[in-house]
A and B are shown apart, each in its own frame.
Chain A
């Protein structure tokens, strides 16, 4: 790591370069047009080139300028938080708001080092009731509540 003196800028630069290259490669399918009559590919091409230049400048500068090392990344919170939200989005259309809320709350609570399963479960039930109250009853949003019905009470339909 002796060559990379500013790892944060170095990797940030690489990310920008990657986005820039992607913009140009994917954007090459779109008509470029001329400066007076720009096609859909013109502006993305400019942005792609800019991104590559800026990314390259950052990356090269990182070899010269000294910076702090990369911070530690604890994977657990990221994976659990992001994962539980994705899961919520996938299941809420199928099993309805109440159960997906409980799943989201219990699962995402596990990202905290002070996770207490029982507390999380109770909080899940309370929040499910609150969510139904706020989003379905008060704001009248079209959301499925239970896996089997769209009514507020489990037995109504």
Chain B
């Protein structure tokens, strides 16, 4: 009955007119940027983060969360109609979704993507609500040593699932940790790596890092490789499914939701991993795998359900343990810190309105999305006809204004631009920026917990091995590393990524 009470409390918060409005804004903005290729949820949340200063914390988080799951809805539209992913998490939807569109079934593909997403959204909201309580109770027992090991596990997990070379990704994490501790050291008051620049004494802003590495760098790369878009619009007439299609699709929706919910929990997981995983699963369980890539409805239903489920359950580690598992969650940490909320198990006990309000708003947001999106598809298609040469300067402008208004400082804008240049360099060298961002937000927390753990153990580093929970997490981290370094598994992982890309 606790669950019902919690959900009732949550709905009470989420159903207030103000919060409904922000859920709607978030969901719509999310869909918009999901539809538009070339700007993802990370850059958008970074862009809008400064504008949430004035809001109530719960409204701010509701809106930002809406952007993330809204983007999963929008991304599928572009994938199906344009054969280019609006979001990376919808990349696999291109394979069968666009084929369906070419065969005149665009309406069915869009409908199953939306309905599957909605179903997944409902289930995973309940999943978040049930799993969160025991997890945060467990987390409340953690001491600094456990936290240190947990962060190590989280970062290693993120690295293992990152694209590209393992060494590379670990180095990016470490670089992120280093950038994260720039600024005043809380214990001694020493300004570290600030070079006498007053703005740096407060540390580097998460908005600058995220917007530069994800937003600006992506624009530059898009400009270097301009792609031709072909829009399939003529055939979007009936936005519904035939009985037969429904029969084929619903088991895939169920499987996608289940797999997505679990993959969303893993460090480094979230929407993208969920959709790739689900596509692979659908292909495995299908009676006739050769139909995939030629317009199999399961290839749309599974991944689209999975990415929504994954997007939502990836909030669980953040809200219960305080550990962000992907770049979007790293920004949510930034958003919570702006409002003086320390992410972690205490959120649920100290701030239950915020916690349950956010969880239930996800369900409401999903409902809004499915109701609004199917009729709005015509509008999104119009938007897709805006050429990129007009679009990207506008994105740049909103990013620049967003970062400038954090503290009306030119320095912040230049700093973001510098991270943009660094981001382009990283893309050229195939270094994934997501591990860096995770390291960046965890840097100060990790240092603080390391210091405390070592102080409590009087300088004895074996404390991490003698405490059972901490030991278990370190062993898990080590196992992950060994597994991924083992040659045959590594091959599997590369195959999975290669499959997702073709």
B248 sits at the interface (CB 8 A): no
Chain A, interface residues (CB within 8 Å), range: 35 or more
Task: Assess A111 versus B223: contact at CB under 8 Å? Given A43-B447, A119-B390.
Answer: yes
Q: Which residue of chain B has its CB nearest to the CB of A138?
A: B51
Q: Tell me if B458 and A108 are in contact (CB < 8 A).
A: no
Find residues 187-226 in chain B having any chain A CB closer than 8 Å to their own CB.
187-188, 190, 192-193, 216, 219-220, 223-224, 226
List A residues 125-156 near B (Cβ within 8 Å). 127, 131, 135, 139-143
Q: Confirm or deny: A95 has a beta carbon within 8 angstroms of a beta carbon on chain B.
A: no
Given A40-B192, A54-B174, the answer on whether A112 and B167 have CB atoms closer than 8 Å is: no
Q: Does A63 contact B (CB under 8 A)?
A: no
> Which of A58, A70, A123, A140 is in CB contact (< 8 Å) with B167?
A58
Known: A9-B165, A44-B181, A139-B51. A85 touches B171 (CB 8 A): no
Chain A 73-115 per-residue mask, 1 if CB under 8 angstroms from chain B, else 0:
1100110011111101110110001000100110011011111
Alpha-carbon separation in the docked complex, A37 to B459 (Å):
7
CB distance from A94 to the nearest CB of B (A): 9
Chain A residues whose C-beta falls within 8 Å of the C-beta of B451 in the assembled complex: 38, 42-43
Q: A45 → chain B, closest Cβ, in Å?
A: 11
Residues of A40-84 at the interface with B, using a CB-CB cut-off of 8 Å, are 40, 42-44, 47-48, 50-51, 54-55, 57-58, 61, 70-71, 73-74, 77-78, 81-84
In the complex, chain A residues whose CB is within 8 Å of the CB of B389 = 109, 112, 114-116, 119
Shortest CB-to-CB span from B151 to chain A, Å, is: 13
Partner of B405 from the list A9, A58, A120, A143 (CB cut-off 8 Å) is: A143
Q: Are A19 and B410 in contact (CB under 8 A)?
A: no
User: What would 12 A/B residue contacts be, using CB atoms closer than 8 Å?
Assistant: A12-B430, A34-B459, A35-B459, A37-B455, A51-B175, A54-B167, A77-B223, A81-B223, A86-B414, A114-B226, A123-B393, A140-B54
The answer on a CB contact under 8 Å between B223 and A139 is no
Docked complex Cα distance between A30 and B397 (Å): 39
Closest to A142 in B: B408
Given A42-B451, A84-B396, A142-B408, 17 more A-B residue pairs with CB atoms under 8 Å apart are: A8-B428, A9-B167, A12-B168, A12-B171, A15-B425, A40-B185, A51-B171, A78-B424, A89-B412, A89-B414, A109-B389, A115-B389, A119-B390, A127-B397, A131-B397, A135-B51, A141-B51
Whether A16 and B175, one on each chain, are in contact in the complex, defined by CB atoms closer than 8 angstroms, is yes
Taking a contact as CB atoms closer than 8 A, the residue among A44, A58, A113, A141 that contacts B192 in the complex is A44
Contact residue among A23, A85, A113, A140 (Cβ-Cβ distance under 8 Å from B178): A23
Contact of A77 among B220, B394, B455 (CB under 8 A): B220
